[in-house]
Amino acid sequence: MHQISNEMQSCIDECLRCYQTCLGMASNHCLSAGGKHVEPTHFRLMMACAEICRTSAHFMLIGTPEHKHTCRACAEVCEACARSCEQVGDMQECVEQCRRCAESCRKMAA
């Protein structure tokens, strides 16, 4: 088994939290709120964010060096999701978690 550094474990944790936050907010907040919260572009971005976060965590956990690629993509998608959630409004938890995850993934991608 490969050794997971503290920095990588922190990134895995942020990715999994972001996965949970985006999927949970989309499913339990956005669908109920309707309107701007379920506009296709925004909703798809939230689903994409959840999925790339899960994938990035997975790549780090299995110890493949390609995690740098998924982490780079994850940081970009998380930033886009944070901006979208900020524009929609009433989604501060998602905005903050996406930004934390993006920052952590940027470090892992370097």
Give me the residues of the chain with pLDDT under 70, please.
Answer: 1-2
So where are the chain's domains? 6-109
Q: What is the pLDDT at residue 51?
A: 98
pTM here is 0.95
Question: Yes or no: is domain 6-109 CATH 1.20.1270.360?
Answer: yes
List own/partner pairs for 21-25 with CB under 8 A and 24 or more apart. 21/93, 21/94, 21/97, 21/98, 22/46, 22/47, 22/49, 22/50, 22/53, 22/81, 22/94, 22/97, 22/98, 23/47, 23/50, 25/85, 25/91, 25/93, 25/94
